[in-house]
Amino acid sequence: MYITDIFQRSRGLSIGVCGPVGGLGAGLTALLLCSTSALSQSAAPGASVDLPPVVVEGTTPRPSPKANKSKATGPTSSASAQASPLADEAAAAGADGNQSTPAAEARRKLDAIAGGTDVVTNQEMGPKATASLSEMLAFVPGVVVQNFFGGNDQPRLQIRGSGLQQNPSERGTLVLQDGLPINRADGSYIVGFADPKSAEFVEIYRGYTANRLGATVLGGAINFVSPTGITDPGVEVSVEGGSFGHFATQAQAGARQGDFDAHASLSYTERDGFREHNESERTNFNLNAGARVNENISTRLFFGYTDLGFDVSGPLSRTLLEQNPKQNCSGPPGCLGPNVLRDEPNREAEQFRIGSRTTARYGANLFDVGFGYTYTDDSFTFPISGGVRDTEGGDFTTVLRYAYAPDASRPLPLFEVTGQYVVGSADRKYFINDRGDKGALVGDNEFDSTTLSIHAGFNIPLTERLTLSPAIAYSYAKRENDDVFTGATRPFLAFTPGGVVSGPRTFVDTSYDRSYSEWTPSLALSYELMRDQTLFAAVSRSFEPPTQDDLIATVNGSPNASAGFGGAPGNTNAAVFSTPDLDAQTATTIEGGWKGTTHAFAWSAIAYYSWVEDELLNLRDANGVSLGGTNADKTTHFGIELGTAFDITRDLSARAAYTYQDYRFDGDPVVGDNRLGGVPRHVLNAALRYTVMPGLWVEAEVNWVPDETPVDNANTLYNDSYTLVDLRSAYAITENISLFGEVSNIFDEKYASATLIVDRVSSPEQAVFIPGDGRAFIIGARAKF
């Protein structure tokens, strides 16, 4: 397999140009750039919904059946089947080979943006067992995904440190499905709703490049793009099973009839888990249908449903982790952490999604209108200190885009403007966790949230090689909370040596009405150093308002007492909730990079430095109990993002992604210039793939965190470094049937995949380490017809 093929799938670097390509196969035209294709549900600049394929007439040779066979079973042995990665990509375009794939066109556009962008395709994920979010994004530098509960349903996702300390209430990344947000109107999201298996490809926008999508975050955005009846016709079924009770199956089908097409997918996953109290289950259904109204207008409708449930395994001390990582903490005094087996923390969440996207293209003008509605029902049972939190509500999204592209040969439009408006409401109730059951009502709130983002920008070609990209965005956010709790007091519950204690706490109204707004300009300059090599530099501002989860939190609990206990049963004035008056987080970022490809080598190298003001942090005490949200006065984020891939021989190739993160407080009166807790400084993923013969490959992967990671902002306790080795393989039995398997954590290393992030640890035996999975075996099969 040629590395430019692999690298395009994982790094998002385009390599084609119109005309013959010398070293990659004389006489082969670069179809990726010369054909006309819509971009499925891409969020790239100037992208539109799917149109029926447009056949490009010319002398380009038809890809061989062997090439199509290679792609039909995933990224197996294209190097053995073809001498050119462009031919391999052309084979992926369809049976006629003359249609550019949506993923390839998305790469071309994203690669032209002066900043950190990537595209990862389902072809890369296809033969991988489990296909979790952490596996899909492992080779995207700058994106760090840590498995948080030892499973696949609640990882900690952060891009450039944004929202790092918010798990399990996520913030800091705009997550989209087909260009419409999974996030709620306040910016929060449930990361488990993102299903990599159901996506044809995923677009990643790091930093300010996400502003064009309506993002109001420092980190960036991720867009999961669904396959359609045009891009993925036929029927496909897969099944897999393995260690820790893992079982997963998926069925999907797509078809096209004239100017109409449709695609549906249904997946189910269950898992007993590596640890005690570690079961999980997920059902995901997606349906989309498109129509070409006339030669200028196309429209597509979407429907999605996700049902997610999983147990929340608790943290362990370092001693307990080394003794037996499968166990759970039993609470004080024996374990300085939550009593998981007593409190039975878990999450049950459902989300229903419906939307539409219509594109009208008239000459150089593209108009794009999207509407979406999500309804989310989320019940999160925390340990007793947090209680049971039920949230139910809906959010409406409107997206309007316009792009002007007078020069069709350029990947980016000359001018683009995007407006996104999201409005939503939710009812939230808080209950005491009474030994795993829903106890007395503690709080009752009605939330209303509004977020408006408008972005406008130019891509001005100063010369044939030099492009100037000025842009400006305006964002407005409103967060309202109406406290409708009717009790005269709020109850508490505590487990003490003398027995169970309960009582009242003084009622304090938690209502608030907060609004935030900001202008965020950016300026970028990109220079085409030579063909397929680009240098860029950019300076930008970012703006991130707090979510409802930042603005209200339960406080004054302990591993053996509910919120409001306050350390003494008779303290009736102990606060049950904290509603801090938070400022929005803002930052100024400079970044620069160099990305490109050659015949057998591809790379992306980006460095950035952010001066962050009022960074939003969710502090926790030594027991992991919430202290509420706060603004850090000043922090700095310095990072390096490196991705590379290369051919060693015709059948042996390698790829790697390295992320460096140095995030610090800046002269804080309490912690000085300490590192922010929970930020691994070095993250390295590397893989070596060998094509044994056409249709059969094996791959070894190393995931290495070589440095200690501070658990707390005081930098008093650290998580140890670790190295994981995985081995996987896939074999295409026929053109339509393939087998795959994986052994993860081959050496059965005991390690913490993540930690709680606390403000200051009080003891080296604090239960803050989240064990990662031990050695696991998974096998599966896939059939496509």
pLDDT band at 97 (very low <50, low <70, confident <90, very high): very low
Q: Please state the length of the chain.
A: 785
pLDDT(108) > 50: yes
Distance (Å, whole) CA 352 – CA 455: 28
**Rounded (10°) CA dihedral 725, 731, 737, 741:** -20
Per-residue confidence (pLDDT) for residue 652, from 0 to 100:
95
Per-residue confidence (pLDDT) for residue 50, from 0 to 100:
58
- In this predicted model, what pLDDT tens digit does every residue of 268-286 receive, in sequence order? 999 999 999 999 999 999 9
Distance (Å, whole) CA 159 – CA 220: 6
Alpha helices, DSSP H, located in 491-566? 548-551
- In this predicted model, what pLDDT tens digit does every residue of 168-224 receive, in sequence order? 668 889 999 999 999 999 999 998 888 888 889 999 999 999 999 988 888 899 999
DSSP conformation class of 212: G
Give the containing element (helix H, strand E) for 652: strand 652-665
DSSP string, 43-55: -STT--------P
Distance (Å, whole) CA 538 – CA 17: 26
Does 470 or 25 have the greater pLDDT score? 470
DSSP string, 391-444: EEEEEEEEEEEEEE-S-TTSSS-SEEEEEEEEEEEEEEEEEEEETTEEEEEEEE
* CA torsion through residues 759, 764, 766, 769, sign: positive
Per-residue confidence (pLDDT) for residue 155, from 0 to 100:
81
Distance (Å, whole) CA 750 – CA 739: 29
* Cα distances (Å, whole numbers) of residue 700 to 602, 685, 728, 729: 20, 11, 7, 9
What is the pLDDT averaged over residues 104-111? 88
Distance (Å, whole) CA 618 – CA 660: 23
For residues 74 and 695, the answer to whether their CB atoms sit within 8 Å is: no
- In this predicted model, what pLDDT tens digit does every residue of 306-356 receive, in sequence order? 999 999 999 999 999 999 999 999 999 889 999 999 999 999 999 999 999
Distance (Å, whole) CA 504 – CA 525: 61
pLDDT(654) > 60: yes
Helix axes 85-92, 3-11, angle to 10 degrees: 50
pLDDT band at 10 (very low <50, low <70, confident <90, very high): very low
pLDDT(166) > 80: no
Cis peptide upstream of residue 706 (ω within 30 degrees of 0): no
CA–CA–CA angle 702, 727, 84 (5° rounding)? 90
For residues 340 and 435, the answer to whether their CB atoms sit within 8 Å is: no
What is the pLDDT averaged over residues 357-365? 95
Per-residue confidence (pLDDT) for residue 407, from 0 to 100:
93
Distance from the Cα of residue 726 to its chain's centroid: 22
pLDDT(31) > 80: no
Per-residue confidence (pLDDT) for residue 87, from 0 to 100:
29
Structure token pair of residue 31: 């179809």
**Residue 591: phi, psi to the nearest 5?**
-150, 155
Close Cβ partners of 649 (under 8 Å, ≥ 6 residues apart): none
- pTM of the entire predicted model: 0.88
pLDDT band at 381 (very low <50, low <70, confident <90, very high): very high
What is the pLDDT averaged over residues 699-713? 95
pLDDT(65) > 80: no
pLDDT(39) > 60: no
